[in-house]
Amino acid sequence: MLFHVRMDVCIPHDVPAETAMKLKADEKTRFQQLQRSGQWRHIWRIVGQYSNVSVFDVASGSELHDLLLSLPLFPYMEITVMPLCRHPSSLHDDDR
């Protein structure tokens, strides 16, 4: 099941710089694990914002929920999720 997920990150200014750097490094490591597994299929940066739009490929909304909770930056994110399905007018048989 595919999901379109927008993540807006807002780390408070009172979080120590070293803590923020560690969170970002841990987030990158976790992201790369999920990307290699095929669960985090695509990611795009939103220009001028500390935000991204991503596509996840997981079995269910519950699995996506657990995956998002596992992100080190989760406590500092506002997340919007939209389930996706193939459009019948698409020229492609896959979801590219």
Q: Examine residue 11 and state whether it is found in any structural domain, yes or no.
A: yes
Bridge partner residues of 2 (DSSP): 57, 84
For residue 90, being part of any structural domain is answered with: no
Within a domain: 89: no
Q: Tokens at residue 73, please? A: 């930056």
Q: Is residue 56 part of a domain?
A: yes
Classify residue 26: in a domain, yes or no: yes
On whether the pTM is more than 0.85, the answer is yes
Domain membership of residue 57 (yes or no) is yes
* Separation CA 68–CA 87 (nearest Å): 26
Distance CA 14, CA 61 (A): 33
CATH code of the domain containing 77: 3.30.70.1060
Output the pLDDT for position 88: 86
List for the chain the helix, strand, coil content (%; round to 5).
35, 30, 35
Per-residue pLDDT of 8-26, as tens digits, reads: 999 999 999 999 999 999 9
Please check whether residue 91 lies inside any domain of the structure. Answer: no
Give the confidence band of 96 by pLDDT, cuts at 50, 70, 90: low
Residue 95 lies in a domain: no
Give me the number of domains the chain comprises.
1
Does residue 95 carry a pLDDT above 80? Answer: no
CB 3 within 8 A of CB 55: yes
Query: Which domain range does residue 20 map to?
Result: 2-84
